[in-house]
Amino acid sequence: MIATRALGDLRISAIGLGAMTLTQRPDADVEQGVRVVEAAVDAGITFFDTADAYGPGSEMGVNERALIAALRRRPEVLDRVVIATKGGHTRGPDATWWIDGSPEHLARAARASAHRLGLDVLPLYQHHRPDPKVPYEESMGALRRLVDEGVVRRLGVSNVDVAQLETAVRVLGDALVSVQNEYSLRQRGSDPVLRRSAELGLAFFAWGPLGGRQAAKDLAGTAAAVDAVARRYGSSPQRVALAWLLGRSPNMVPIPGSSRPESVRDSATAPALLLDDADRRVLDALADQAGTEAP
């Protein structure tokens, strides 16, 4: 049984699955994606993160449709998993990313996501990224109306700083249950947001928890300290990195992506890996060093 963390009034698995990798490549193997999702379900993962703008290509909703199609292969789990999606990004004709935090766009995007996912109410809807062209308070007001109108049950914000988080708290009230920012051994810029979200009782979803797709593959080779710790536990470096993240805060929920069922099963065991104080200090030092280096 995998450990759980709080998401508002819910309990979810302490490790989630970032679904972006299911469709990230134009030549993505559909059946392989299904096997990844099924492996996650079998491993006890109950939180799945997607977004309307996850491609490839310029078509919106590609990843949402792929995720729900995979989950529907196991209909018995649909009532015990949480599907979270995001809005506020769009894709242009050349597949470039654009930001649209306007209330009009968010209202349309949330309803379109609910339709694609086949859900009467979205369990968790997250604002993907602040739009510099739109006052953040206006974007948050649009999200609050989605809850009031019954389109969305819970709300989250993503890629925010502390000031933006405080605005979200003020506008969204108790509908706000989560924050999603980049966080890993290589990227600690969201430490202040992590601390504040813990104080507020909000779940903190760490995207890119292994430092990015290529970095995840090369984690041992590029960080000898991680490799050394992994060897002591007979573990993979990726599992060690996730265990370190989980120990950073009781509201931390890493959401690694995966293109292989084996990787999902490995990630799901991270909550059971308890690092001792000495090894945590080694990894803390590595993370501190990464935090002082230019990106």
Domain extents in the chain: 4-210+249-258
**What confidence tens digit (pLDDT) does each residue in 219-230 have?**
655 578 899 999
**What confidence tens digit (pLDDT) does each residue in 20-39 have?**
999 988 888 899 999 999 99
- Residue 54 appears among annotated catalytic residues: yes
Q: What is the mean pLDDT of residues 32-60?
A: 95
Q: Residue 254 above 50 pLDDT?
A: yes
Distance CA 136, CA 155 (A): 15
Give me the architecture of the 4-210+249-258 domain, per CATH: Alpha-Beta Barrel (3.20)
With a threshold of 0.85, does the pTM exceed it?
Answer: yes
**What confidence tens digit (pLDDT) does each residue in 132-153 have?**
999 999 999 999 999 999 999 9
Torsion angle defined by CA atoms of residues 62, 63, 65 and 68, in that order, rounded to the nearest 10 degrees: 180
Nearest to 117, CA basis, from 30, 55, 54, 51: 51
Given the residues 54, 125, 136, 183, the one annotated as active site: 54
